[in-house]
Structure 1
Amino acid sequence: MRNEQLLLVDDEKGILTMLETLLRKEGFQRIMTATTAAEALQYVKTSSAIELILLDVMLPDMDGFELCQQIRKLTSVPILFVSARTGDLDKVMGLGFGGDDYITKPFHPMEVVARVNAQLRRHNVYKSKPRAKPQLLDFGVFAVNKGSGQLLVNGAETACPAKEFELLTFLCEHPNQVFTAMQLYDQVWGTALMGDEKTVVIHISRLRKKIELDAANPRIIVNIRGIGYRFMPPSNQGDAHES
C-alpha cells in the first residue's frame, strides 16, 4: 500500500472515478478529488500532506493554468496536467505556469501510472535528503542549496518549483558537460522513453529568466547547436540579473 497523498482535479466525474480506480489498483489509498478550482485550492491550503496533483486544464470556475499558478504560491509538489487540449501552445503554457509534466487525453492508463511514479520517485528523493547539513552549490551570482531546496539569486531567495530545481541542480553538478534534451529528461523526470523535449526546453527557459542577465542571450545555460545544453559556471562579475 502506497502512503503518498494525491489530489485529482477534474470537472468530469467519470475521469475522476477512472483515475482514482486506476491509482487505487496501483496501491495508492490516500486520494482526494476535486471538481472545481476553488475546492482544489482549499485542499492545498489545508492539507500539507499532498505530494502530487493531477490537474485538468478546463475547470468550470478557473482556468487550470491559473490554478497552477495559485498552487505554486503554496507548494512545490509535482503537478501533472491531464488535458484534452493537445496543442503545443497548451503544453508550453502548462509547463510555463509551473506544471512538471503534461499528459493528453485520451491517455493510456499505464502512462499515467508511470509518470505519477516517476514524479513521486524524484520528489521523494529530494524530500528524504538530510536537512541538517545544507549542501550549497555557490556560483556567486546564484547559489543552489540542496539541503533546503532553495535557489538564491544575488543573495535573495527565488521561487523555484521542484522540477526546475532538480534540473538546475543536475546541471550545476555537471559543469561544462553537454547533454541532449532527452538525456536531461531521463535524469530529472526519469521516463525518457515517454519524454517530451519541449518539457526540457520550457524548464530551461524558465531557469534562464531566473539566473541569466539576459535570458534571450544566455551565458550560463547555453545551447550547443544541434546537440543540447551546457552549464557554464558564471563568474562573480554579473552573469545573472540584478535583483
Structure 2
Amino acid sequence: MPNRVLIIDDDKELCKLLKKCVEKEDITAELAHTGTDGLKLALQGNYHLIVLDVMLPEMDGFQILEKIRSISAVPVLMLTAKTASTDKVNGLRSGADDYLTKPFVVEEFTARVLSLIRRYTTLNTGSMEETNRLSFQGLIIDLDTRIVAIGNKQIELHAKEFDILCYLAKNKGKILTKQQIYEEVWQEQYAYDDNNIMGYISKLRKSIEPDPNSQTYIQTVKGVGYRFSREV
C-alpha cells in the first residue's frame, strides 16, 4: 500500500503543486482547505504524514496539531508564511516534527516529506519486529514490556486492564462476551454476571480514550459484550 499524505492549506494552487510533488514519489495525497475539514480527515484517516499550514480558516494549525497529538504520533510538517521564530518554536513545542517557512523550494519540501515518512515507517517497522507491538490509530500496545502509549504519552494500566485491552485488540472487530473476556483474562470459569468487567472497561476508557464517551477504541455492543473498533 502506498504511503499517504494529508495536506491542509487554504492556498488551493499551492496544494495542487505539493500534491503533484509527492505523487511523483508514488505517495498518495489528500487535500483539505479549511481547519475543520483538515481536522476531520486527520482524525479519520491513516496517514504517514500530515502537512499543516498555520494560518487556516475556521481553526488554525496549532489547534489542529493539538487535537492530532492527543491521539496520534503521525509526523507533522508545518507550513507558514510568517517569519517570526516564535511560530516555529510554538509549533515544535506543540508536537510538530518539522517546519517550513513560505516561500520554499519544492525540492526541499519533497526531501523533508520523504525524510519524515522514512523515519516514521522505519521506526514503526523496526518496533514491530523487535518488540512485538500492536499499533492502532494513536495507540501502541507493547506486548513484551506491557507498556501502552497514546501518541508520545505512556499510560499506566492495572494488570487486568492491560490484559483485557490486549485480548480485545488482538480480536479487533470481533464481539466478545463478558464470559469470554473473564475466562480469557482471569483463567477461571465464569459462573455469574457481575459488574467486574464493566468496571475495568470503564477504567480503561478513562485511560486510553480521547473522550471516554466516544468509544474510539473499545465499543459496547448492547446486550452482547464488547468489541475493539475495526476502524482504528
TM range (shorter): 0.5 to 0.7
Give the aligned partner of residue 93 of structure 1.
Answer: 90
Task: Structure 2 unaligned segments of length 5 or more: list them.
Answer: 133-139, 154-232
Match in the other structure for 2:188: none
Superposition deviation, residue 107 in structure 1: 0.3
Query: How far off its partner does 1:159 sit?
Result: 4.7
Query: In the alignment, what sits opposite 1:110?
Result: 107
Equivalenced residues, count: 146
SS in 1 for 2:92: helix
Over 4 Å off, 4+ runs:
155-159
Amino acid at match of 1:71: I
Tell me the alpha carbon deviations over residues 111-142 of structure 1, each in whole angstroms, 9 at most, x when there is no partner.
Answer: 0011111111110111112536539xxxxxxx
- 1:188 matched residue in structure 2: none
1:47, distance to aligned residue in structure 2 (A): 1.6
Tell me how large the CA RMSD over aligned residues is. Answer: 2.9
Query: Distance in 1 between the 2:115 and 2:82 partners?
Result: 23
Q: What residue in structure 1 maps to residue 45 of structure 2?
A: 47
Which of 1 and 2 has greater Rg?
2
| 1:72-151 paired onto structure 2 within 5 Å | 72-131=69-128, 134=131, 148=142
Question: Are 1:66 and 2:101 counterparts?
Answer: no
Percent identity for Structure 1 against Structure 2: 33
Q: Which residue type is aligned with residue 81 of structure 1?
A: M
The letter for the 2-side match of 1:22 is: C
The Cα offsets for residues 171-215 of structure 1, whole Å up to 9 and x where unpaired, read as xxxxxxxxxxxxxxxxxxxxxxxxxxxxxxxxxxxxxxxxxxxxx
Q: State the alpha-carbon separation in 2 of the partners of residues 43 and 157 from structure 1.
A: 22
Match for 2:45: what amino acid? S
| 1:160 pairs with 2:160 | no
In structure 2, the CA distance between the partners of 1:14 and 1:46, relative to structure 1 (3 Å rule), is same
Task: Give a deviation string over 1:51-85, Cα, whole Å, max 9, x none.
Answer: 10000000011111111001111211100001111
SS of 2:29 mapped into structure 1: strand
Given the two structures, how large is their TM-score scaled by the length of structure 1?
0.54
Contact 1:81 1:103 in 2 (8 A): yes
* Corresponding letter in the other structure for 2:11: E
Give the match for residue 169 of structure 2.
none
Q: Is 2:142–2:148's contact at 8 Å kept on the other side of the alignment?
A: no
Q: 1:44, 1:74 within 8 Å by CA — same for their partners in 2?
A: no
TM-score normalised by length of structure 2: 0.56
Give per-residue Cα distances to partners, 1:140-160, cap 9 Å, x unaligned. Answer: xxxxxx9949x99xx885752
